[in-house]
Amino acid sequence: MGVLSLDLFVAALRLATPIAFVALGETFSERSGTINIGVEGTALAGALIGATVSFFSQSPWLGLAAAVGVGMLLGLIHAIWCVYLRSDHVVAGAAINLLVTGLAYFLTRVVWGWRGTSASAPILNPWLLVWTMVALVLISQIFLFRTPWGLRLRVVGEHPKAADTAGINVYRTRVGYSVLNGALCGLAGAFLFNNLGRFSVGMVGGRGFIGIAAMVVGNYRPIPAFLAAYLFGFVDALQMRLQDVIPSHFSIMLPYVLTIIVLAGFLGRANVPAALGKPYIKEEG
C-alpha cells in the first residue's frame, strides 16, 4: 500500500485526540467568556502529574485521576485570575504555560534525575481515551445546543448582564467551565502520557495552541472543532510517513504551517462570544 492507507486514518484519529480534548475544553471556556491559552501548559501538567502518580502508585488509573485533578486545579487558578482578579486572559494563560514548563524541568530532575523526561510508568490502553474523546464530543454538542445548561452557558459568554438579571451566577458559571476546560486539558495530557508510556517535556509541542486553532476553525462548536482537530491529526500522521521522503525538520513543520494557513483562510468567525475576554463587574447594590 502507498502512503494513504487505512492505518493512516486510524493513526490520524489517535493523533487528533489531544488536540480535540483541548479544542473541546476551550469551546466550553470561550463560550462562557474566558480565553485560556494556558491549555498548552495545562496539558503538559496533566502528562507530568499523570506520569508521576502512575510511576509511584503503579496504577495508571490513579495517574489518570491525578492528571484530571491537576488540570482542574490549573483551570481554577486561571479562572480566579481572570474572573476575580481581572487579569488579562492571554497573559494569565501565558504565565501558566511558563510556570508549568519550569515545574516540568524541575520535577523531572527532582524525581528521576533527568532533565525533562521521566522513566517509563504503567499505562492504560490509549484507545480508551480516544473513544472517551469521541463520546465527549457528541455529548458536548448536545449539551451546548439542546439543553438549558448549554443555553445558560452561552448567555454568560454573550451577554453576562442579561444572564445576571435572569438569576444566573456569571462568576460561578465562568469558574465552573474553566475548571471543566482544565479537566479536558488534563485528559489531553493523560492521553499523551499513556500513548508514549513516559513523560517528556516536549510532548505537548504546540498541540494546545493547535487545539485553540481547531476550536476557532470549528466556530465554537464541538463536532466541527473535532473535525478540524482530525485534520491536524491527519497532517501529523502524514508528516511522520513523509520523513523518509523529505528531511524530518521540514515534515515536522507541516502541522504548524497548516495551522497558520487554516487560521488565515478562515474568515467566518460568526460565533465569537460577545463578552469574550472581558471581565464582568457585577454592580454592587
Helices in the chain by DSSP H: which ranges? 6-31, 39-57, 60-79, 89-111, 126-146, 148-158, 160-165, 170-196, 207-217, 222-242, 248-265
Using rule CB under 8 A, residue 87 touches another protein: yes
Using rule CB under 8 A, residue 114 touches another protein: no
Distance CA 86, CA 68 (A): 25
Cell of 254: 507541516
Site string for another protein, 223-262 (x = CB under 8 A): ------------------------x-xx-xx--xx-xx--
Size of the residue set binding another protein (CB under 8 A)? 48
Cell of 23: 479544542
Using rule CB under 8 A, residue 37 touches another protein: yes
Among 4, 6, 264, 270, binds another protein (CB under 8 A): 264
67 vs 100 by CB, closer to another protein: 100
Stretch that binds another protein, among 10-18, 108-116, 122-130, 142-150 (CB under 8 A): 108-116
Stretch that binds another protein, among 24-32, 79-87, 165-173, 234-242 (CB under 8 A): 79-87
Using rule CB under 8 A, residue 123 touches another protein: no
Stretch that binds another protein, among 90-98, 131-139, 140-148, 220-228 (CB under 8 A): 90-98
Distance CA 20, CA 25 (A): 8
Cα–Cα distances in angstroms (integers) from residue 204 to residues 2, 43, 158, 191, 207, in the given order: 29, 7, 31, 10, 5
Using rule CB under 8 A, residue 139 touches another protein: no
Cα–Cα distances in angstroms (integers) from residue 189 to residues 1, 138, 155, 282, in the given order: 33, 21, 30, 35
Q: What is the CA radius of gyration of the chain?
A: 19
Distance of CA 216 to the CA centre of its chain: 13
Among 36, 42, 101, 181, binds another protein (CB under 8 A): 101
Instruction: Name the site residues for another protein (rule: CB under 8 A).
Output: 37, 77, 81, 84-88, 90-92, 94-96, 98-103, 105-107, 109-110, 115, 205-206, 209-210, 212-213, 216, 247, 249-250, 252-253, 256-257, 259-260, 263-267, 269
